[in-house]
């Protein structure tokens, strides 16, 4: 952690949850794509590896945010856009794809919590 920087507890919990959830997503898409493919029979085979990569990149971005790197937030924007494009191709409807866009403003909101512990202003 950066010298003198303090993270709000909600941000810490949120980043830990993001690391856990995205790790699980990556593993599921890497090793469970056959089972998932049964629910989305018209999905092209490339969608599962792409979504696994999105999960891995999200873990990297979460770790970057833990290390006070602003690029981690912008990485989430990129992966969210990729997932938004891939999800309808996978077979999700537009409402489900749009719900996936909520992660970025939610993360931004959590980065705004706290006064002197506000995460956003401490990012490098």
- Verdict on whether the full-model pTM lies above 0.85: yes
List, for residues 27-86, the tens digit of each pLDDT value. Answer: 999 999 889 889 999 999 999 999 999 999 999 999 999 999 999 999 999 999 999 999
Domain ranges of the chain: 9-122
Percentage with pLDDT > 70 across the chain: 98
Q: How confident is the model at residue 1 (pLDDT cuts 50, 70, 90)?
A: very low
Q: To 5 degrees, how large is the angle CA 37–CA 46–CA 55?
A: 85
What gap in Å lies between CA 66 and CA 99, rounded to an integer?
25
Q: Which class for 1: exposed (0-12), middle (13-18), buried (19 or more C-beta within 10 A)?
A: exposed
State yes or no: pLDDT of 3 exceeds 70. no
């Amino acid at each position: 952690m950066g010298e003198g920087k303090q993270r709000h507890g909600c941000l810490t919990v949120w980043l830990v949850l993001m690391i856990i959830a995205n790790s699980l997503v990556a593993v599921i898409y890497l090793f469970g794509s056959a089972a998932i493919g049964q629910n989305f029979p018209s999905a092209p085979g490339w969608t599962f590896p792409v979504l696994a990569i999105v999960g891995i990149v999200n873990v990297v971005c979460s770790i970057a945010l833990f290390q006070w790197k602003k690029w981690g937030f912008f990485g989430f924007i990129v992966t969210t856009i990729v997932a938004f494009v891939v999800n309808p191709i996978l077979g999700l409807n537009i409402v489900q794809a749009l719900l996936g866009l909520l992660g970025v403003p939610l993360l931004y909101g959590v980065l705004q919590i706290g006064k002197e512990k506000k995460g956003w202003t401490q990012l490098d």
